[in-house]
Amino acid sequence: MDIKEYFARISYQGSYDKLDLATLTDIFQHHIRAVAFENLSIHCGERIELDLEATYNKIVRKKRGGWCMENNYLLSWVLKTLGYDVTLLGSKVYVPEYDAYADEIDHLLLKVVLDDKSYIVDGGFGMAYQMWQPMELISGTDQPQTPGVFRFLEESGVWYLEKVKRKQWIPNQSVSTSHNVEKEVCRRVYLFTLQPRDIEEFSACNAHLQTAPDSLFVTKSICSLQTTDGVRALVGWKLTEIKYNYKDNMDLVEIRILADEEMEKTLKEKFHMTLDKKFVPINTSRLVNLCYTDRSEPLDSRTTVTGYFSAHTGKMNIQEYFARISYNDCHKDADLQNLTVIFQHHIQAIPFENLSMHCGETIELDLQSTYNKIVRKKRGGWCLESNHLLFWALQELGYDVCILGGHSYEPAERAYTAEINHILLKVVIKGNSYIVDAGFGGAYQAWQPLMLISGKDQPQIPGIFRFIEDNGTWYFEKVKRKHYIPEQSVPFTDTPELGNIRKIYTFTLEPRHINDFQELNAYLQVSPDTILQKKSICSLQTTEGLYALVGWTFTEMKYNYMEDVDLVQITTLTDEEVEKTLKDKFSIVLENKLVPVNVRGLPPNLVDTI
């Protein structure tokens, strides 16, 4: 083996007499732009040997690429030959299909020490998560690079690598799939410790990844190469080309499906690679190979794949909840900003609904049952369900949260209820108290946590909310806007209280336990006098307003359509249209037959009731 032959392979013509960060970075960037990350040997009937001489011959002389145990092994030899202080490390890669880290070490990376500072050097991850520069081993510091912002987080001696991604512009969106165009903003990459490793420790991993039916490298043929402005990737027959930061902090993603006869030409022209043996492309799911297709129960992001399978005992998991509400950010701190984002995702994903009562189903006030219904069955729930679930989620995330009880205002009676009939949450952040209520629904659903302060207007997109405190009792109300109702199909003549101020509920700050609401939960399902018995209700907040289905009446509201005026559009549905509307507008598919109900004499839509 010869270092100059390696330099010729990666087209490096710079100096290498100084053992500094600039030289290390230059060599590293030449490597990742010349040597592809690829597993094509597995799909050509070739065995990948964990041997330095074999790796050198394959990558340097045959001008092939390799996976991490080849790329980084070769790179470690190069850097050691030049005199760098290099250590092999082992990591466990994050597996998106399982939403978990691997059980065993399955990735090789390098630690390089320069001037008493440690850097992670990894030329063998490939795709869009390939770092372009050595990364200083420091916890919690954003390290911006051309592909995006990388960072390490250290916890009890375990280091986590993650990448903050940009938005993507995909001109040919129709050919994209979740396999190569991911929606999350922050992507976990892998975890590792600083325990030094020897190459022999990766022998079992090297063999396993070439043969295991659930191995990513068995289920997908992969070839990716970093370019001067992005990355190319060929997964199966799908060629993806990404140009980083194409415009306005957005990556350009172009995708093309290749024919069999185009594969060889593409490998040669795009990846500078000619194979010795016939290549058989593949791109399947490793979940299929495990005969497991229900991915409705991902694990906590820092557990392992084995834990994934043991989780199917019904255990609740915060990452699964996040997936349900389409929350993809990296949760860091239990602060107001994160609380607001999670809350908004919750109310825009989980409808306020009482449809179980009108499908012959019993609503159980049990956290596991609520979790299964809302998270796994993708249903909604009323306040006792939605806020109970949110209470659990916020506790899991470290928030100081407690349950409160409220007395709803009854417009028809022009009075508050005598008994508690609503659950809400109080969250304390840095000494300030906030009311968090994801379970009121309709046009009186707040879109942000509300600071618990008396007499102060708190403007939000739905309108102006405020609290009034009187002798320890808090009154919650909303300043309403006018409504513009084109082609009004349902009269508002029987809608009580069309004034400017709408009372919503009262409450005290006495902490409650969920079991305090068991009797209420039963009463609301059987009492013929409750609005929940008299109306089948489903409402969901949207990005600009809300949808509401009450009986057969479907209402769409767009807030502030004109200055201080909300647009309200009302449609009366047929029985056949109700099921389709639930699916299309609320993403709800019921297991049992719904019997819509909307007792007349009460407001026919949700705008002025809930």
DSSP annotation string for 286-331? HHHHTT------PPPTTSBHHHHHHTTTT---HHHHHHHTT--S--
**For the chain, percent of residues with pLDDT exceeding 90:** 71
Binned at pLDDT 50, 70 and 90, residue 552 comes out as: very high
Binned at pLDDT 50, 70 and 90, residue 531 comes out as: confident
Q: What is the overall mean pLDDT for the chain?
A: 88
Give me the pLDDT at residue 12, please.
97
CATH of domain 3-289: 3.30.2140.20
Q: Give 502-520 pLDDT, tens digit per residue.
A: 999 999 999 999 999 998 9
Place of tokens 């949808």: 547
Q: Give 390-416 pLDDT, tens digit per residue.
A: 999 999 999 999 999 999 998 888 999
Domain with CATH 3.30.2140.20 in the chain: 3-289, 318-586
User: Is residue 457 within 8 Å of 466, Cβ to Cβ?
Assistant: yes
| Domain at 318-586, CATH class | alpha beta
Q: Is the pLDDT of residue 131 over 70?
A: yes
The strand pair at 565-572 and 450-451 is best described as: unpaired
Most confident by average pLDDT, 64-68, 306-310, 438-442: 64-68
CA distance 250 to 1: 42
Give me the pLDDT at residue 184, please.
53
Termini Cα distance of the chain: 76
Give me the pLDDT at residue 248, please.
82
Kindly list the catalytic residues.
68, 107, 122
Residue 48, both tokens: 């990948």
Q: Give 35-48 pLDDT, tens digit per residue.
A: 999 999 999 999 99
Cross-strand partners of 161? 152, 190
Binned at pLDDT 50, 70 and 90, residue 608 comes out as: very low
Lowest mean pLDDT among 83-97, 199-213, 329-343: 329-343
User: Is residue 363 within 8 Å of 521, Cβ to Cβ?
Assistant: yes
Q: Give 60-71 pLDDT, tens digit per residue.
A: 999 999 999 999
Among 173, 195, 196, which Cα is nearest to 183's? 173
Give me the pLDDT at residue 242, please.
96
